[in-house]
Amino acid sequence: MSDASAGDEAGVEPTDAERTGSDPVLSLSNVDSGYGEVQVLDDLSMDLNAGEIVCLVGPNGAGKSTVLKTAFGMLTPWEGTVEYHGRDIGGMAPEDIVREGIGYVPQTDNVFGSLTIEENLRMGGVARNDDLDEVIGRLYDRFPIIDEKRGAKARTLSGGQRQVLAFARALVMEPDVLLIDEPSAGLAPNTADDVFEDVQAVNDMDTAILMVEQNVTKGLGISDWGYVLDQGTVRFDGTPDTLLNDEEVSQLYLGG
């Protein structure tokens, strides 16, 4: 939910005052995390509520992708907790977290290039016991662009089509939460717009989305809430309008 009047407030100190819903499906609390010896996240806390699109923005190296990787078990939090529906999933393996109901779309290499579109979707559903064909059928209906190319190898797809397939692969599990790393990276502006529409379409399917995005205006434009990260921790959070209209945030972190 965005609320233009909020931008008039003096500060954008972290506050949940105007945020709809207080029903976090995914919460990171006081998380430290990193790669090997290198710490990236420093006492980071954030929430994703049911039905929301939340966008993480901030300069390169702020730790945006690291948040997603820590939430998805590709990195184990050094300190703090990652809770999904109130249960601590910190350090669980990705293949188990998928079964809990969280999906992840990496920024690059997010399809199996040598497998067909159909096979990519089947791989997305390896943890499903039932209704696989039915779910895949629904995804073809939702994304006709991949329906036309079921038997084609994924490496033959264009950048935009590939991104759609990457979403669809993650959606076969019908997750409650989808983590998306830079959906518009490397795409032409028009294609990026289509991808953002697809993100909204996924959100309309009752999937809460936590997204990292370099394109701040467009990323926040479709979001309900934004977090500005710097040096591994949350500097500001608020509605997209609040963040985009705040001078300090704009100058320091949003490139103008």
Partner 1 sequence: MSVIELAANGVVYSSIIVLASIGLSLIYSIAGFANFAHGDTMTVGAYATLVAFGLIGGVGFTILGVPLGFFAAVGVGIAAAAVVAVVTQRMVYDALDVGSIGLLITSIGIAFIYRALIQMGFGADTVRYDIPSLRPIESLQQYGVLITAHDLATVLSAALLVTGLHVLLQHTDLGRKMRAMADNPDLARVSGIRTYRVKLWSWVIGAGLAGAGGAFLGLFNQLSPRMGFNLLLVVFAAVILGGIGSVYGAVLGGFLIGMIVEMTPLLSRVGVPIGIEYAEAVAFLIMVAILLVRPTGIAGDTAEGGGV
What are the residues binding partner 1 (CB under 8 A)? Answer: 72, 74, 93-95, 98-99, 104, 106, 109-115, 119, 122-124, 126-127, 153-155, 169, 173
Spell out where 173-251 has E strands.
177-181, 208-212, 225-230, 233-238
CB of 173 to partner 1, least distance (A): 7
Looking at the Cβ atoms of 95 and 197, the one nearer to partner 1 is 95
* Token representation of residue 256: 């103008």
Looking at the Cβ atoms of 61 and 94, the one nearer to partner 1 is 94
Angstrom CA distances, 106 to 74, 79, 169, 195, 217, stand at 11, 24, 11, 14, 21
CB of 98 to partner 1, least distance (A): 4
Looking at the Cβ atoms of 132 and 222, the one nearer to partner 1 is 132
- At residue 228, the 3 state secondary structure works out as strand
CB of 213 to partner 1, least distance (A): 19
Of 224, 227, 245, 244, whose CA–CA distance to 58 is shortest? 227
Looking at the Cβ atoms of 109 and 247, the one nearer to partner 1 is 109
* Token representation of residue 190: 């028009």
Helix or strand (DSSP H, E) at 160: helix 159-171
CB of 162 to partner 1, least distance (A): 11
CB of 123 to partner 1, least distance (A): 5
- Given the structure tokens 């939910």, which residue do they identify? 1
Beta bridge partners of 85: none
Q: Tally the residues of the chain.
A: 256
Looking at the Cβ atoms of 92 and 199, the one nearer to partner 1 is 92
